[in-house]
Structure 1
Amino acid sequence: MSRPVVGIIGNSYLMNDQYPTHAGGTMNSDAVANVSNCLPLLIPADPRYVDVAELLEVCDGFLLTGGRPNVHPEEYGESATDAHGEFDRARDAITLPLVRACVERGQPFLGICRGFQEVNVAMGGTLYPEIRDLPGRMNHRMPPDGTLEEKFALRHVVNLTEGGVFHRLFGASEVMTNTLHGQGIKTVGKSVVIDGHAPDGTPEAIYIQDAPGFTLSVQWHPEWDAANDPVSRPLFQAFGDAVRAWSAGAMPTPVRQSA
């Protein structure tokens, strides 16, 4: 039996400072293929090449990946500043309507880092351009130096809502995660439930209240060592189960705060 297809949202990348490509991190494909047990398919997130309706038909679920460019602040009614960093308007044009369509249809997606932020913006929320500049907040950015192991090392606790969706999934109300992001949620989008926070109050885990499908998203990077990490593994396994259910035609059930 063929595996269900997970569309992995790609990022624009300039190879050798010259050659334009669409790229996807190998660890994303590894987590989808070997933990979710689905077929990873890299999506060129650009409306010149694909449209949302096609993607919804071709793919059973979607992985909204992290990426260096940020969601353009015009997407949530603000003006761009230097603090907002780089942008990828082509990806915005695909992922934001894709999220809304998946929420409506019950088609599963898993949001990671930028993907987490895309979900909030797609649902009408806004973002802070730089978390570390806010009073009382820690620096959540990737360490500038060190090996990949050091950059993706576990760095802070995430406190989960007691009895909530993530608590039930992980079997714990407190988990350790990495952190490699600059931006974060400012105002919460419609029906977005914040189900986990960093110690400084930064939202780290969300889902869409009463959505008819899998809508879990996290601000950290669970794709790192997903097969072995005790937090990443159940997250990608649950995502794979939801994708298989969608592919088999099973009716999704709404995600709720408590059992």
Structure 2
Amino acid sequence: MASAAHRPVVGIIGNRGLLNDHYPIHEGGQMNSCAVARVSDCIPLLIPADPEMVAVEELMEVCDGFLFTGGRPNIHPEEYGEEPTEKHGAFDRARDAITLPLVRACVERGQPFFGICRGFQEVNVAMGGTLHPEIRELPGRMNHRMPPEGTLEESFALRHKVHLEPGGRFAQLFGADEVLTNTLHGQGICQPGPRIVIEGRAEDGTPEAIYVKDAPGFTMAVQWHPEWNAAQDPVSRPLFEAFGNAVRDWAAAKRS
């Protein structure tokens, strides 16, 4: 691990929660912080995603890169021109108000980010795409949701293959055209944004790996959860390493 004084800062987008079903908190999974600290070799900084507390411009100055994490609340469908239904689940409009403009600002500026699960969906919506509220109800699709019961290890178990575009960014990063991943999501991409490039799909056709076309910085995002077992998993580790390298390059350029 590099000296803490020289490690760049990755802002980890947090979620709202309740401690003991009573006390309001901002929270983030420890596995996200561990992946950023131990694999990306950056300083993890949990961000309270609320426009009443932070502004996009402030975050971009404080942080060198961003991790858009998963989260139980979904993006409000009004953000992509649809009306909410019961299938859309719970929402976090405060997070929407930070993450969507932050994605667009990072794309424009070339500041690196990495999207995971909800973060993957945020990248698509921020770039003009739409979402399916419930993937498992579509003809021919599998149930991508987390198993209702089981241990943490069982919930994050590798469950399906992702087929990658041969010679694409993800295939080059993994050194393979097919990888095995976990799956813990209910929603997914319906229409990709105009600049969204889909390079990976599950066996049922569900988009799983994307980036933003012609963006000057790192904009990779995946629908699965690579933060689980990131240091040992052969698919997760290169993603977080590549993200860390991009953040270091950004930080170095900012200092020069």
The TM-score with structure 2 as length reference comes to: 0.97
Unaligned 5+ runs, structure 2: none
**CA deviation map 1:202-253 (0-9, x unaligned):** 0000000110000000000000000000000000000000000000007xxx
Partner of 2:140: 136
| 2:6 alignment partner, SS class | coil
- The residue that corresponds to 2:223 in the other structure is 219
Partner of 2:91: 87
Q: Does 1:9 align with 2:13?
A: yes
- Does residue 1:229 correspond to 2:233, yes or no? yes
Paired position in structure 1 for 2:172: 168
1:44 aligns with 2:48: yes
Residue equivalent to 1:256: none
CA–CA separation in structure 1 for the residues paired with 2:137 and 2:87: 10
Deviation at 1:2, TM superposition (A): 2.4
Identity among equivalent positions (%) equals: 76
> Which amino acid counterpart does residue 61 of structure 1 have in structure 2?
G
State the match for 2:26 in structure 1: 22
* CA–CA distance in structure 2, aligned partners of residues 72 and 14 of structure 1: 20
The reply on whether 1:241 has 2:240 as its aligned counterpart is no
Matches within 5 A, 1:56-75: 56-75=60-79
By how many angstroms is 1:18 displaced?
1.1
Kindly indicate whether residue 39 of structure 2 is the aligned counterpart of residue 35 of structure 1.
yes
Once the two structures are TM-superposed, the CA of residue 190 in structure 1 deviates from its matched residue by 1.9
Deviation digits for residues 2-21 of structure 1 (CA, Å, limit 9, x no counterpart): 21000000000011111110
1:179 and 2:191 matched: no
Q: Residue 114 of structure 2 aligns with which residue?
A: 110
Alignment partner, residue 150 of structure 1: 154
Give me the whole-angstrom Cα distance separating, in 1, the residues matched to 2:140 and 2:45.
Answer: 40
Q: Tell me the distance in 1 between the aligned counterparts of 2:219 and 2:135.
A: 24
| Deviation of 1:42 (Å) | 0.1
Task: Tell me which amino acid in the other structure corresponds to 2:59.
Answer: L
The size of the alignment, in residue pairs, is 251
What is the DSSP-based 3-state SS (H/G/I as helix, E as strand, rest coil) of the residue aligned with 2:61?
helix
After superposition, the CA RMSD in angstroms is 1.0
Amino acid at match of 2:38: N
SS in 2 for 1:248: helix
* AA matched with 1:41: L
SS in 1 for 2:98: helix
Aligned partner of residue 139 in structure 1, secondary structure: coil
- Displacement of 1:116 in angstroms is 0.1
Please give the alpha-carbon distance, in whole angstroms, between the structure 2 residues aligned to 1:242 and 1:206: 17
Deviation per residue, 1:73-119 (Å, 9 max, x gap): 00000000000000000000000000000000000000000000000
Q: Tell me how far apart the structure 1 counterparts of residues 138 and 110 of structure 2 sit (CA, whole Å).
A: 35
Name the structure 1 match of 2:104: 100
CA distance in 1, matches of 2:78, 2:247: 32
Query: Mind listing any 5+ residue stretches in structure 1 that lack a counterpart?
Result: 251-259
In the alignment, does 2:89 pair up with 1:76? no
Tell me, in whole angstroms, the C-alpha distance in 1 between the residues paired with 2:69 and 2:17. Answer: 14
How far apart, CA to CA, are the structure 1 residues paired with 2:109 and 2:25?
A: 31
